[in-house]
Structure 1
Amino acid sequence: MNRKQKRYEALVNVYSPDLYRYAYWICNDPDIAQDLVQETCLRAWKNLDSLLDDKAAKGWLFIILRRENARRFERKHFSLVDIDDYEVADEHDTSKEMDKELLRRKMLALPDDYKEPLLLQLIAGFSAEEIAEQLELNKNTVLTRLFRAKNLLKSSLTVTTNRDGAAHG
């Protein structure tokens, strides 16, 4: 096994779980998430020589993953969905699962300027400095966007809770 292959395998072994978790969060489909990770790994292999510092590998891989996800929408032509093909959720759905799905939908509905930094922080575990580097922004801009994203999310969830007539306080 040559040096490049060893380096590549080490990076993939360390970061694949994080890449998958993030990919799954943004697409909510295990197969698409796996495809995104595979495409990310393939592109990483092809461009491994451009990664000059292994300490920057996590950010580099997540940039590739985000770009692969964007490419997915460039290539895809969405077809209409027939609502009759889907069953309505039964009564066995737990409140916790519904809360998670509501939170996920609300997060994904945020404007991209707020959604991307929030997902990179909460799902991928990046610091504000790392997010700033990935998104090519000033750290203070990232902190402001994270603050606003959390406030938008909180107010969005409060409005939903109030509308549903659930207890609030």
Structure 2
Amino acid sequence: MRDQLPAFLPHLRAFALHLTRDPVRSDDLVQSTLLRAWTNLDHFQHGTNLEAWLFTILRNCVYSEHRKRRREIEDPEGGFARRLMVQPEQESKLMLDDLHEALAYLSQEQRKALLLVVEQGETYEDAAALCGVAVGTLKSRVNRARTQLAEMLQMENRHDLGPDRLMQAALQHSKVVAAI
């Protein structure tokens, strides 16, 4: 019976091509069909139509593939997968706690200057006017605050203290705590 399988290849290819309209996919289906038939040859009932049995296996392969593909989403660049990812929260929470603690060690003038510029997005000129100091003084306070925070948080670059989500959350939290 195994010797008869190659004789059915042209008919199986034609049927697979009719079902898929894709030569590459149809060849894969025929290969999968022959593999399943070879593996399950002991289930074939002698005296029945071998070709019909092979066609049934091929059709079932198509149905199985269709069910699998229906649940899949084509995502060659991984954009969809990246949107589904959730970043771990524990590291952010620990960083937030560290930042909050480090902010508490800054002088009130430095913390206020940093909050105005980094958290609220004020220009140096507007922040200086709100603090009642010269622009150079405010710039110096922000610079010293960033440098001290970078040291305390063991950051390589003091300019990493920018308006990202973690920094915003920490600064917002410290602003609320400072108001209390």
TM range (shorter): 0.3 to 0.5
Greater Rg by CA: 2
Q: Which has the higher contact order (CA 8 A, sep 6+)?
A: 1
